[in-house]
Structure 1
Amino acid sequence: MSSILTNNSAMVALQTLKSINSNLSMTQNEISTGKSVASAKDNSAVWAISKVMESDVNGFQAISESLSLGESTVAVARQAAETVSDLLTEIKGKVVASQEENVDREKIQTDINALRDQITSVVGAAQFNGLNLVEGTDAVEVLSSLDRSSNGDVRASSINVDRQDLSTSAGTYGTGTDLSANATLSASSATNAGNTVTIQLAADTDFSGDSFELNIGGATLNFGASDLSGNQDAAAATITSAINALGISGVTASVSTDTITLTSTRSFEDVDVSALKNGATTGITQSATSIGARAETLTFSATAAVNEGDGYQVTAGGTAYTYVAGKGETFEDVARGLKAAIDGGGIDGVTTQVGQDSNGAWQLSIDNSGSSAVSLARAGAAGGEASGGLFGLSSIDVTTDAGAEAALANIETLIDTSIDAAAAFGSAEGRIETQSDFIGKLTDALKSGIGSLVDADMEEASARLQALQVQQQLGTQALSIANQSPQNILSLFR
C-alpha cells in the first residue's frame, strides 16, 4: 500500500542517516580532541577514574619539584659538612705539629684561628633558599609522596632530614628538672697527691734465704735467695731503694719500718701491683692489687636517657663549665663536651680524659698536677638550648704544652662530628634522589595509564571516519530516493 501521508521508507532512511551523522560527529570529535573519552557523557566511569588519576599526576609533579628543592638543600649541607671535615683535618695537622717543643706555637695558633674562622664562614653560608641544615637541631621534612589507599583516602608522606649542627655556640643552660643525680663526682676537690698501695713484710729475723718478686705496672723486680739480708725492716729498705732505682714513670716508693708504700701520680692509668715471697703471698700483706689513677671522676648514669636541652655543669676552681646536649646525643657526647669546656678554661695543671668504667658508664676524669687543690662540683638541669656540634673549637689553644695536648684529643671529637654529619646528609641525599627518580617513573606510568583509558586510537578513528563518510553519502541518496516515492503516485492519475 502506498501513502502520501506516511513515508515509511523515508523515515527509515532518515533514522539511519541520523545514526550515521551521530557516529560521524563522535569520530570527528575523537580525531579533533585525540580522546575517546573527552567528557563525562562519553563514559562517566572511565572519565571519573581518569580525572582522579590526573589529579594525582598534578600532585606528583608538585612533589617532584619539592624533592628537587630538598635534594639541592641537602646537597649544599653535605658539601658544607665535607668542607668542614677537610678544614678540621688541616687543623689537626697544625695541632700535631704543635706537639713539638721547638716550634713557633704562636704562628701555629694563628693558622688554627684562620681555619676556625673559615669553618664559621662555611657553616654560616651553607643555606639554600634560606634554609641552613648545618645550624640548629630541628628536623626538616621533605614532601616525598602522596599515598592513596583503597578507600580513596589520600595521605602525604615525607622524608625526614635531621639537621646536623656544626656551629660552635656554647648553648644555654636550662632551669628545668634537676638532673644532677645522673652524674656522680668521686671527690669535692682534685689534688696533686698520688694514690698509694702498701706492702707489709711479716716479721722475719733473716731474709737471706728468701727470694722476692715484685711487679709494678709491668716492671718486674727480682731478689734471689742471697740478695736480701737482715730482718723485715732491712729487707723493706733494700726493696724500696731498688724500686726507686727502676725509675718507673709516675711511681715512687717509701719505707717505714717493715712497710713499703708505693705512690702513683699517673693521671689516667691504674698501676697493677703484685708481690711474692718465695713464689707465694705468704708473709706479705698487700693493701690492694692496683694503685688507682690520681684523677677524680665524674661518672654518668649507665641507664638514664639524654634528651635535647639537658645541660650538665662541672664547677672547677670556682668556674662553671657547661655542655648542653643536642638531639640524639648520649652521655659520651656530654662527657666529651665537658672535657672540651674544661680544657678550654686553661686551668693550671688540670687535664681531662673521657672513657668508660667497667660497667660501661661514661666517665670524665679530671686530674690536677698543679701546686694547689682545685675544688670540684657538678650540676645538671633540663630545658636548655643545645650547644653547637663543634663546641670547643673556638677554645683550642696550642700555645701551651697543656693546651696542645688537650687539643689533640678534642680535635678528633670534632672531626668525628663533622664526618658523621656529612655521612648523614649523604644518606639523606641518596634517599631523596632515589625517591625523585621513582616519582618521575611513577608519573610517567600514571600518564600512560590515563592515555590508555581516554586516548583515541587514531588509526581506528581514521578508518572509521572514511567508512562513515561513505555511509553518510549512501544514506543521503537513500533518503533522496525514499522522498521521491510519493511522486510515483501521480502517474496513477494521468
Structure 2
Amino acid sequence: MTSIMTNTAAMAALQTLRSIDSNMQTTQARISSGYKVANASDNAAYWSIATTMRSDNKALATVQDALGLAASKADTAYTGLESTVDVISSIKSKLVAAREPGVDKGKINQEISELKNQLQSIAESASFSGENWLFNASTNAAGTKEMVGSFNRASDGTVSVTTLKYDTANSTLIDTNQASRGILTRDTVATFASGTTTTTGTYYLLKAGSATTATGTLIEISSTTTSANLDGMISAVDKMLQTLTDSASTLGAINSRIKLQDSFVKNLSDTIDKGVGRLVDADMNEESTKIKALQTQQQLGIQSLSIANTNAETILTLFK
C-alpha cells in the first residue's frame, strides 16, 4: 500500500542514517582523541583501571626522580670513600718509609700532615643536596638515611612506599662533636709485634676539635718517634683502611641496588603504559577503515532516503 501520510521507506532510511551518523561521531571522536575509551561513559571498567594506573605511573615517575637523587648521594659518598682509601694508603706508605733508618721523619710528617688536610677536605666536600654521609657536624649521631625506592599497590587496593635504607654511621669519617663516631677521629686499637712478643696501642688519625676527643695517641711522627711507635701507627692505619674498605663495599652494594631499582622502575612504568594503551587506545588502522565504510554507508543512506521521497512524489502524477 502507498500512503501519503506515512512514508515507511523514508522512515527506515532516516533511522539508518541516524545510526550511521552516531557511529561516525564515535569513530571520529576516537580518531581525533586517539582513545577508544576516552571517558567513563565509553567503558566504565576500563576507564577506571586506566585512570588508576595512570595515577600510579605518575607516582612511579616521582620515584624515578627520588632514585636519581639517591643515586647521586650514594655516588658522592662512594667517591669520597674511594679517595679516602687512596689517601690512607699513602699515609700508610709514608709511615712505612719513616721506619727506614736515617730518613728525615720531620719531612715525612709534613707530607702526612698535608694528607690529613686532604682527608678533612674530602670528608667536608662529599656533600650532595645538603647531605653529607662522610662528615657529621650535628650533636646527634649520623643516622640511617631512607631513600624512596618504589610505589606499590596491593591486590586489595592499598598503596605503600618502599624505601632503601643506609646507615651513614658506617661511613662517617669525621665527627666534630664526638670523636668516637668518626672512623678517622676515634681511637683505633692496634696489635703489633714488639720484639719476640706482641703489644697493643691506641691511635687516632685526625683531631676534629670535638668536645669528646679521642684518648689515644695522635698519628704523627718526629725525630724522636721510636720504631715501636711507628709499628703501632702502621697497624692502626692498616686497621682504619680495612674499616674504610668494608664501608666502601657496603656503600657500593647500596649504590648498585639503587641503580637496579631505577632500571626496574623505568621498565615497570613502560609496561604500565603499554597495558593502559591496550585497554583504552584506539586502533587507528581499524578506525580509519571504519570511517571509510561509514562514509560509504552514509552516502548510500542519503541515496536511499532520496529514493524513498521520490516514490512518494510519484503519487502526484495520478492526479494530472
TM-score class, shorter-chain normalisation, is 0.7 to 0.9
C-alpha spacing 1:387/1:460, structure 2 compared with 1 (3 Å) = farther
Where structure 1 has 5 or more consecutive residues not aligned to the other structure, the ranges are 173-322, 330-335, 341-350, 355-363, 365-384
Cα distance, 1:484 vs. partner?
Answer: 2.7
- Give 2:233's match in structure 1, choosing from 407, 419, 436: 407
SS of structure 1 residue aligned to 2:146: strand
Is 1:62 matched up with 2:56? Answer: no
More helix per residue: 1 or 2?
2
Is the 2:76–2:126 contact (alpha carbons within 8 Å) kept by the matching residues of 1? yes
Q: How is 1:52-451 mapped onto 2 (pairs within 5 angstroms)?
A: 52-136=52-136, 137-163=142-168, 164-169=170-175, 171-172=177-178, 324=180, 337=187, 339=189, 353=200, 395-399=218-222, 400-401=225-226, 403-451=229-277
TM-score, length-scaled by structure 2? 0.84
SS in 2 for 1:37: coil
Evaluate the alpha carbon distance shift between residue 439 and residue 100 of structure 1 in structure 2; reply closer, same or farther with a 3 A threshold: same
Give the secondary structure class of the aligned counterpart of 1:398.
coil
Task: Using the TM superposition, give the Cα deviation of residue 15 of structure 1 relative to its aligned residue in structure 2, in angstroms.
Answer: 1.0
Aligned position for 2:14? 14
Q: CA 1:24 to 1:169, structure 2 compared with 1: closer, same or farther past 3 Å?
A: closer
Identity %: 37
Shift of 1:166: 3.6
Matched, 1:481 2:307: yes
Aligned counterparts of 2:70 and 2:54: Cα–Cα separation in 1: 24
Paired residue secondary structure (1:16): helix
Q: How many correspondences in the alignment?
A: 296
The whole-number CA distance in structure 2 between the counterparts of 1:49 and 1:394 is 67
Q: Describe the superposition over 1:306-351 as per-residue Cα deviations: whole angstroms up to 9, x where unpaired.
A: xxxxxxxxxxxxxxxxx7468xx9xxxxxx83648xxxxxxxxxx9
The 1-side partners of 2:250 and 2:94 are apart by 27
Select the structure of larger CA radius of gyration: 1
Residues 455 and 392 of structure 1, relative CA distance in 2, 3 Å threshold: farther
Structure 2 counterpart of 1:428, one-letter code: I
1:8 Cα deviation (Å)?
1.9
The superposition leaves residues 263-292 of structure 1 with CA deviations (integer Å, 9 ceiling, x where unpaired) of xxxxxxxxxxxxxxxxxxxxxxxxxxxxxx
Counterpart residue identity of residue 422, structure 1: A
Per the TM alignment, residue 12 of structure 1 is displaced from its structure 2 partner at its CA by 1.2
Matched residues in 2 for 1:170 and 1:35: separation? Answer: 61
Equivalent-residue separation in structure 2 for 1:41 and 1:450 (angstroms) = 17
Whole-Å Cα distance in 1 between the matches of residues 129 and 318 of structure 2? 94
Query: Residue 464 of structure 1: SS of its match in structure 2?
Result: helix
Q: Is the 8 A contact 1:138 1:162 kept in 2?
A: yes
CA RMSD in angstroms comes to: 2.7
**Contact 2:60 2:150 (8 Å CA) reproduced:** yes
Query: Distance in 1 between the 2:246 and 2:309 partners?
Result: 91
Aligned-partner Cα distance in 2 for 1:132–1:325: 14
What code does the residue aligned with 1:122 have?
I
- Specify the alignment match of 1:295 in structure 2: none
Q: Answer whether contact 1:76 1:128 (CA < 8 A) is retained.
A: yes
How has the CA–CA distance of structure 1 residues 47 and 39 changed in structure 2, closer, same or farther, with 3 Å as cutoff?
same
Q: What is the one-letter code of the residue matched to 2:167?
A: D
Distance 1:386 1:29 in 2: 73
Are the structure 2 counterparts of residues 146 and 477 from structure 1 closer, same or farther at C-alpha, using a change threshold of 3 Å? Answer: same
The one-letter amino acid paired with 2:93 is G
* Distance apart, 1:25 and its partner CA: 1.4
**Structure-1 separation of matches of 2:15 and 2:211:** 84
Q: How far off is 1:433 after superposition?
A: 0.5
Residues in 2 aligned to 1:436 and 1:64: alpha-carbon distance in whole angstroms = 6
> 1:492 aligned to 2:315?
no
Deviations 1:198-253 (Å, cap 9, x if unpaired)? xxxxxxxxxxxxxxxxxxxxxxxxxxxxxxxxxxxxxxxxxxxxxxxxxxxxxxxx
- With over 3 angstroms needed to count, the CA separation of the structure-2 counterparts of 1:448 and 1:431, relative to structure 1, is same
User: What displacement does 1:40 show?
Assistant: 1.3
Assess, with a 3 A threshold, how the Cα gap between structure 1 residues 407 and 28 changes in structure 2: closer, same or farther.
same
Task: Report the CA distance shift for 1:478/1:114 in structure 2 as closer, same or farther (over 3 A).
Answer: same
Higher relative contact order (CA 8 A, sep 6+): 2
Q: Aligned to 1:40, what secondary structure does the other structure show?
A: coil
In the superposition, the TM-score normalised over structure 1's length comes to: 0.56
State the partner residue of 1:466: 292
Query: Which structure features the higher share of strand residues?
Result: 1
Q: Name the CA shift for 1:170/1:486 in 2 (closer, same or farther; >3 Å).
A: closer
Q: Which residue identity does 1:412 align to in structure 2?
A: D
Aligned-partner Cα distance in 1 for 2:174–2:131:
18
Q: How far apart, CA to CA, are the structure 1 residues paired with 2:245 and 2:305?
A: 87
For residues 435-476 of structure 1, the C-alpha deviation after alignment (integer angstroms, 9 at most, x for no partner) is 011111111111111111111111111111111100000011
Aligned equivalent of 1:34:
34
Q: Answer whether contact 2:67 2:148 (CA < 8 A) is retained.
A: yes
* 1:436 partner SS: helix
Distance 1:394 1:110 in 2: 18
Aligned to 2:175, what secondary structure does the other structure show? coil
